[in-house]
Structure formats: C-alpha cells, structure tokens
Structure 1
Amino acid sequence: MDEHRSDEDSPDSRASDTSPRADGRDRAVTPTVGVVLLVAVTIALAATVGAAALATGTPASPPPTAVVDLSVRETTLTLTHRAGSPLDVRDLRIVVRVDGDRLRYQPPVPFFAARGFHGGPTGPFNSASDPTWSAGETASLSVAGTNRPRLRVGSVVRVTLYEGEFRLVVVRAVVR
C-alpha cells in the first residue's frame, strides 16, 4: 500500500498546506484588510469632525461696532451714538444697572410706553421712529419712580447694549 502514496500525502506536503502558498495568493490578505480598515476609520473620523464643525455654525456677519456716550440727569438716560456702524434698535437688548443692581423693569426698545418708564422714549428707542440708530443721533428714556432701584443724585448708572448675546457697548455715568 505504501507504493500508492503520492507526494501529496506525505507528512511534509501536508504541513506545507497550512503555510502561505508559494505563488503569493494568501500573502497580501492581512495587509489589505488592515489598509481597508484604516481608510474606513479615517473616513469616519473626518465625517465626525466635519459634522462637529458644521454644527457649531459660523456667524453670518461680524457684529456691529459703535461708540456710545451716556449722560444721566435725574431720571433721564440719554445715549448718543458717536461713531461706528448704524444699529438696528429692534435687534438691541439694553440692560440698565444702578449702583450695580439691575433695574427691575428693563427698557424693551423700541417702545412707546413700558412698565417702569415715563412716557415714550425719544429718538430710535421710540417705536414710532426709524429703528436705525446712526452716528450723531441721540436716544433717551426716563425711568419711572416705580422702577427699582431708584435713580438718585450720585448713583452710578451702567448701560450695556447687546445685539443677541454679543455685548456691543458698556457705558457708565453718574446721576446729576
């Protein structure tokens, strides 16, 4: 029976069946799979970073800049736009502080009559006026005695103008 054995059945030939073939067909399988996985991970990472970058968004345009002065006489706050970009008061939020404390009622510019304020404001703060506040224009409003804290001679008033969440201007004045 031994004479019918072929070279393929020899112990040496069976051991060589589990090793890579001499023609090289099995040799590149592992490196190829590694390269494919590396490319897939790179693409997934790039997609994640790209999505995160787009999700944060970019501002549509730079915020405006302005130079504003404040004067306070008794209960009237007068703000003068001295220089810079025209401001649309419909996009502004004004925060008034007296000696560090926020007024209970803040001015909802533009407005005509609002709780915590006397009558209608002047200039672009008045809802009947052009809402564009340009350099050289003055706007004023009067704080009512029902608003707290009260404005008293010697009090420090700080007014902060915001466009959205961006702080445009912070001005201070002493009540005269």
Structure 2
Amino acid sequence: MLLLVALTVCLAAGIAVGVGALSLESPGPTATFDLSADGDQSSISIEHVAGDAVDVEALSVTVAVNGTELAAQPPVPFAGASGFDGAPAGPFNSRADSEWTVGEQAGLTVAETNSPSLETGNSVTVTLAVDGRRMATLETTAA
C-alpha cells in the first residue's frame, strides 16, 4: 500500500513537471525562399517566394561556403558591416521596411576580406532563423 502511494506521488510530480515544461510559444513564420549566388560578383540573393511575412529585425542569417561558415556573418538588417561590400539590397538593408514579404529579394556582397571567399562553382548554404528557430536552409552552387 505504501509503495502504491509513493508511486502515485512520483507520477503526479512527473506530470506536473512535464506540463510546466510545455511551451505555448507561437510557431515562427513559414515561408519559401529561392537562393542564388554569383561567384564573379561574390553576391548572394534570396527571394521570398511564398508564405508568411518575415520580421527582418528578428531574423538571423548564416552563410557557409563549401561547408565552412563565413568568418563574418551578415548582421541583418545592416547598412555596412565588416566582411561585406556596400549596403545590402532589399529588406537586409537597415533603411528598408523591416517586413520581408512575398516577391521581395534580399541580397548582399561578400567582401574579399571575409573567408572563405565566394567563387564560381562553390557550394553556398544559407540558413535563415527567426528568434533562434531555424526557418529555412537553402543551398545552391555559385554561377
């Protein structure tokens, strides 16, 4: 009988902890993107093809070339950043609307000072995350 009471108390405590750990966070946006890269220009372009609008203020972008992450990652939105040439295009630019919607293209140019360098034939992977949750991983070969 004492064993049954102890087991019931343990189960109740386990359920209480489990319920407390459940999160009622709303899921992040879902969207589809198209990635292109130009090795001659060292540029990357991402088009928002379909889905929810994305708040660029909550977005993080991670770029890898041939499986190695760039030494300097783009701090979107930005107007000028170490490791990148000029100002980015579209919603990655800090002067643009912070909402990235269907049909808009965002782009950036990797500087020669960033490594690894982006060249024709390289594999390019871009990971987009909103509030720390991965939203998309895009891959292409630089033309």
Could you tell me the TM-score, scaled by structure 1's length?
0.73
Structure 1 gap ranges (5+): 1-33
User: What displacement does 1:76 show?
Assistant: 1.1
Rounded to whole Å, the distance in 1 between the matches of 2:135 and 2:60 is 10
Residue matched to 1:45:
11
Rounded to whole Å, the distance in 1 between the matches of 2:64 and 2:24 is 29
Residue matched to 1:108:
75
RMSD: 1.9
**What amino acid is aligned across from residue 64 of structure 1 in structure 2?**
P
Larger Rg, first or second structure (1 or 2): 1
Q: Are 2:126 and 1:159 equivalent residues in the alignment? A: yes
Q: Are 2:36 and 1:71 equivalent residues in the alignment? A: yes
Structure 2 gap ranges (5+): none
Q: Deviations over 1:4-60 (max 9, x none)?
A: xxxxxxxxxxxxxxxxxxxxxxxxxxxxxx58x855763563144213321x23142
Rounded to whole Å, the distance in 2 between the matches of 1:40 and 1:98 is 56
**What amino acid is aligned across from residue 71 of structure 1 in structure 2?**
S
Residue matched to 1:7:
none
Instruction: Give the number of the structure with larger relative contact order, counting CA–CA contacts within 8 Å between residues 6 or more apart.
Output: 2
Rounded to whole Å, the distance in 2 between the matches of 1:119 and 1:161 is 21
* Structure 1 pair 166–59 and aligned structure 2 pair: CA distance change class (3 A): farther
Which structure: greater helix fraction?
A: 1
Rounded to whole Å, the distance in 2 between the matches of 1:39 and 1:158 is 55
**What amino acid is aligned across from residue 148 of structure 1 in structure 2?**
S
Q: Which of 47, 55, 65 pairs up with 1:88? A: 55
